[in-house]
Amino acid sequence: RDLKGVIVTLSDDGHLQCSYLGTDPSLFQAPKVDSREINYEEINAEMKELQRIIREATKTQDILPESEKQRDLTVTAEVSPDLDEESQAIDSEVKAGAVPSVTVKITIQSRVTAQKPSLVVCVQAPLAVTCDQFVFDDLEPDSSETVVLSVFLKENCSPPELEGTCMVSYNIATELNPEGIPRVSQCSFSLPLKLVCFPAQPSKAANHKLTIDTNKPPISFVTIFPDFVDPSEGDQANALGFQFITGSKATLLASKTSQRYRIQSDQLEDLWLVTKELIYRLEEHFKKQNCKDFACTFSGSIPLQEYFELIDRHFELRLNAEKYQELLSERAVQFRAIERRLLTRFKEKTPAPLQHLDTLLEGTFREVIALADAAEENQASVFQAFAKLKSATHLVIMLISLWQKLSTDQVAVLEATFLPLAEDTQELGWEETVDAAVSYLLRTCLSKSSKEQALTLSSHLSMPKDTSRLKKNITLFCDRLAKGGRLSLSTDLATQQAAVMPGGCATIPESDLEERTAIPGSTAIFVTHGETTKQKSKP
């Protein structure tokens, strides 16, 4: 266009520009419009119509239907009261001769047309199911589907929980979304204790013992444990033995003169399932008797030292896994370096001696295989240690809740604090996660002063060097609960400070030296004293 002085530039990223100085008239000319008067009534009518269309399009009740009192699709699970006559256990690693299984019948009922329904059944390892996924054709209104599966113990360790969950995912079509919007329905089921243990002779001696107090006379085991007691023994059965199929034993004793029950075993983690089952069956028994004031309490000592041993064992295996990973990485680098050297030798036109590179390659290969086998074996040990740790953690949570008579909300905070992970990994482990949660509670609802509240917590979770800090925080956590602390996730720290900690609290030992001085050589650390004062929180 006869422009002079054009500056052509090429940028680093490949943009070519032709620029010039001065101004240039615009080549765009606006088209002529018809000069007519604006009809405001028509514009208002059009605006109202557009707004109506927008409102109809943004209504949520059609795109995402509101939840109804009666669900569109329900799923129920029914656990058989008896074990399977012929065990359905598949590839079980339990060393026992026969591994029992129990049948679970799952029924899906739909009130509407459910598109692409699929069922997933989840049980926590070491438990397993014969089939955990089912896919169905579209369900018509008022139709149902039923599946039957079996649950059994697969790994060679006792499960921390005897529960399972069923989840059904499906789509429901709407006028604006014919493809269907996703919905989920779920239910949970409980598995019987006899799935993992069977009756045995009671043991008189045991390393670990717990005593549960009640406010009602002891009930005969024939009444509350009919599936574990021989009816011929009558009301004389005040001792009951449980033999776990993994090999360990637990014994349950009922006092003849007092309202107490004792649970004992050689392993701390084996106390959990029996204690939980005892309390559950006692509550169900008195509920049937229309007794509303039944309560269980625990006045003994929280077995923290034994609990810490399980923590140390689990953490030691995690450290071993880290070492195996580093050694494997080093040997793999060495293996690849030898391979490159050998490849270079083989490509040479004139053959040269290998100088024992082939022997070194074979030796490195054997080391890699041996390290991989050891790492795999250590991983199995980590899994078993984590299962034991979870069982012991459940037990400690129950004992603390009975000891301090915690409410349901406070127990939920306890469980969220000490059981944050369903699975344990090297990247995010139990120790660092629980330490962060306990530290948060110690600096909020269980804090002693505003100075503690002002401390900032690290936002980065990493594997600690040892467990000393974690054990110290757990000890401090229990100590402050014993001095009247209350668990709460409220953000109003000033209210918590006034309501949680009593004004006359003694100084809590912060150093290991003070703790050892306060409790010399004692494994029974925390005892509920009658003179412990508690201050109720103000509404």
More confident residue, 181 or 452: 181
Give every CB contact of residue 117 below 8 A, 6+ residues apart in sequence: 73, 108, 110, 135, 136, 138, 139, 145, 168, 169, 170
Kindly report the number of other CB atoms within 10 A of residue 217's CB atom: 9
Give the model's confidence band at 525: pLDDT under 50 very low, under 70 low, under 90 confident, else very high. Answer: very low
Q: DSSP character for 505? A: P
- Tell which CATH architecture fits domain 196-298: 2-Layer Sandwich (3.30)
Look at residue 151 and tell me whether its pLDDT is greater than 70.
yes
Are β-strands 143-153 and 163-172 bridged in parallel, bridged antiparallel, or unpaired?
unpaired
Cβ–Cβ < 8 Å for 128, 159: no
Whether pLDDT at 173 is above 80: yes
Tell me if 441 sits within 8 A of 480, measured CB to CB: no
What CATH fold (topology level) applies to the domain 74-193? Immunoglobulin-like (2.60.40)
Q: Compute the average pLDDT of residues 281-306.
A: 88
Provide CB contacts within 8 A for 321, sequence distance 6+: 375, 378, 379, 382, 426
Q: What is the pLDDT of residues 364-387, one digit of tens each?
A: 999 999 999 999 999 999 999 999
Better pLDDT: 95 or 241: 241
103-112, 277-286, 436-445, 494-503 — which is least confidently predicted? 494-503
For residue 425, what pLDDT is reported?
80
CA–CA separation, 317 and 323 (whole Å)? 10
User: Which residue ranges make up each domain of the chain?
Assistant: 74-193, 196-298, 304-483
The pLDDT score that the predictor gives to residue 471 is 92
The whole-angstrom separation of Cα 285 and Cα 409 is 25
For the segment 469-486, the average pLDDT, to the nearest whole number, is 88
Q: Which pLDDT score is estimated for 290?
A: 86
Q: What is the pLDDT of residue 343?
A: 84
Distance, in Å, from the CA atom of 419 to the CA atom of 261, rounded to the nearest integer, reads 27
Point out the least confidently predicted range of 22-36, 283-297, 432-446, 513-527.
513-527
SS3 letters across 266-327: CCHHHHHHHHHHHHHHHHHHHHHCCCCCCCEECCCCCCHHHHHHHHHHHHHHHHHHHHHHHH
CA distance 390 to 124: 12
CA 479/CA 459 separation, integer angstroms: 26
Q: Amino acid identity of 238?
A: N
- Over residues 460-469, mean pLDDT: 86
Residue 492, pLDDT score: 46
CA pair distance 89, 162, nearest whole angstrom? 16
pLDDT at 336: 92
